[in-house]
Structure 1
Amino acid sequence: MTESSTTLDVDRALKAKHRAMWALGDYPAVATEVIPSLGEKLVSACQVGAGDRVLDIAAGAGNAAIPAALAGADVVATDLTPELFDAGRRAADRAGAAVTWQEADAEALPFDDASVDVTLSCVGVMFAPHHRTAADELVRVTRAGGGIGLLSWTPGGFIGQMFAAMKPYAPAPPPGAQPPPLWGDEDHVRELLGSRVGDVHARTESLRVDRFATGEAFRDFFKANYGPTIAVYRAIADDPEKVAALDDDLADLARRYDLGGGAMDWEYLLLTARRAG
């Protein structure tokens, strides 16, 4: 077997693992019950309008794709995990939004160069393991002068710290895979996009989350519904002491961010840019 074919097999296995991870639990419940406003926030920042050709990368159940469609855009929602599309279709139907759903890998998008007016991703493309490849793809498909919009959890914010808390319990990442919260670091994203974009605007904001009354309530919800958390618990399922320790760590994390009454602020980076001509 050649080195290139071996690399391809490893990548396919990694992508299959990612697809299975995001199919665990109920990510659409996370999107609709915990972070429903983020997609609309991104669509507004990108000034999506009628007739725009919009590509939502790693769209999940359409948290950004649906408001983009409601703004009058022609929207294709893509994700590596098509198991999420049924919930997205139901949500789009309820909202009266026309969205095309297509399975696609963020690191190998099946679209022509410069074929999209606005390319966006709401806490989605950040989970592609190879950041440079994903960034190359989202730039490639965007036309000259077209918009790029990314909303990503920051490393120092709540979700970034949740991944840091889970890291000691998780299997080692494969070689070359980068931590998702790096997409929430402005310098990292600017370096990925480089001179291929201009008119870059980036700001750090916070989402107020008041879905969970206690740290334990947060932990149990994510333990049951959020694919990455479920995957980590499965990896340590045969070690009760580690399970108990992770239980404590996640509940403690939520308590540290508690502003009172269970409310938390979850920090994210919102970055928009224009594809250079």
Structure 2
Amino acid sequence: MDELKQKHRAMWALGDYPAVASDVIPELGEVLVKACNVGPGQQVLDVAAGTGNAAVPAALAGAQVVASDLTPELLATGKAAAPVALEWREADAEALPFEDASFDVVMSVVGVMFAPHHQAAADELVRVCRPGGTIGLISWTPAGFIGQMFKTMKPYAPPPPPGAQPPPLWGDLEHVTALLGDRVTDVVAERRTVHVGNFADGAEFRDFFKRVYGPTIAAYRNLADRPEDAAALDRALAELGDGPDGRDWEYLLLTAVRA
């Protein structure tokens, strides 16, 4: 594994991302499973599955499911808590260890969007999906709350490596359809929001993400010897959390059929 992937794996092992998946956005997995019409007998791959936010409901729907992720700590947490049997597999979204056309459904909930090289990840989603199978994605949008959060953190975070693209671009319909190209048909896309009522105010949102969310933790670690910048980021994230989008986080739900 190259240095960039090692850093990504370590970042997502920071804090407690399972708390975000289970306490803040638990319903997103079920939304995608329903949109992909997952059912008994299907072979399903959840890419960048984390703790199985989509993989578990897919397995509960009767599918044979593989949950793959770059970060083994997340897989271990998901496996320990899963109420149903499925396969947990460490894998890089940009180099999936599966044969061509292996799955009836290939999906990802705010996961594959964080792979640094978007085209490589999209190529893998398409490659492992059988012709006539479904590709389903939920991604935070650039203009939505999480997209704004990444924009807010950008001046304070370590610079991205050469060639890496911003994760929220996956929430831009034009960008993601260009990635998939004419290898898919029947694209259905809809912007939706997930209501988040976990936080009393912006400060509580900020403190939660400082404690549990890998990219936010990494940004603050980058400011360890810059207390004035850390204080500025504190203020900016609290203001964002108090803003009009703080309780309704926009995402793009997209499904497509492998040509």
Q: Give the TM bin, normalised by the shorter chain.
A: over 0.9
Runs (4+) of structure 1 exceeding 4 A deviation are none
Q: Which runs of no fewer than 5 residues in structure 2 stay unpaired?
A: none
| 1:86 CA displacement | 2.1
2:12 is the alignment partner of 1:12: no
Q: Which residue of 2 aligns with 1:265?
A: 248
Candidates 169, 183, 188, aligned match of 2:156: 169
2:61 is the alignment partner of 1:71: yes
Q: Which residue of 2 aligns with 1:151?
A: 138
| 1:108 CA displacement | 0.2
Instruction: Number of aligned residue pairs: give it.
Output: 259
3-state DSSP of counterpart to 1:67: helix
| 1:90 CA displacement | 2.5
Candidates 227, 231, 235, aligned match of 2:218: 231
* Alignment partners' CA distance in 2, 1:106 and 1:236: 29
Candidates 204, 221, 225, aligned match of 2:208: 221
3-state DSSP of counterpart to 1:257: coil
* Alignment partners' CA distance in 1, 2:224 and 2:86: 39
| 1:196 CA displacement | 0.1
Superposed, 1:18-29 pairs within 5 Å as 18-29=8-19
Deviations 1:80-109 (A, max 9, x none): 0011122201221xx3x1111000000000
TM-score normalised by structure 2 residue count: 0.99
* Alignment partners' CA distance in 1, 2:249 and 2:85: 30
Deviations 1:30-84 (A, max 9, x none): 1001000000000000000001100000000000000000000000000000111
* Alignment partners' CA distance in 1, 2:121 and 2:79: 25
Deviations 1:130-175 (A, max 9, x none): 0000000010000000000000000000000000000000121111
* Alignment partners' CA distance in 1, 2:24 and 2:79: 19
* Alignment partners' CA distance in 1, 2:254 and 2:71: 25
Structure whose alpha-carbon radius of gyration is higher: 1
3-state DSSP of counterpart to 1:204: strand
Check whether the contact 1:158–1:257 (CA below 8 A) recurs between aligned residues.
no
* Alignment partners' CA distance in 1, 2:165 and 2:6: 17
* Alignment partners' CA distance in 1, 2:200 and 2:41: 42
TM-score normalised by structure 1 residue count: 0.92
Candidates 184, 197, 206, aligned match of 1:210: 197
Query: Structure 2 counterpart of 1:24, which letter?
Result: L
3-state DSSP of counterpart to 1:167: helix
2:85 is the alignment partner of 1:98: yes
Superposed, 1:249-264 pairs within 5 Å as 249-257=236-244, 264=247
Query: Structure 2 counterpart of 1:216, which letter?
Result: A
Q: Alignment identity in percent?
A: 69
Q: Which residue of 2 aligns with 1:6?
A: none
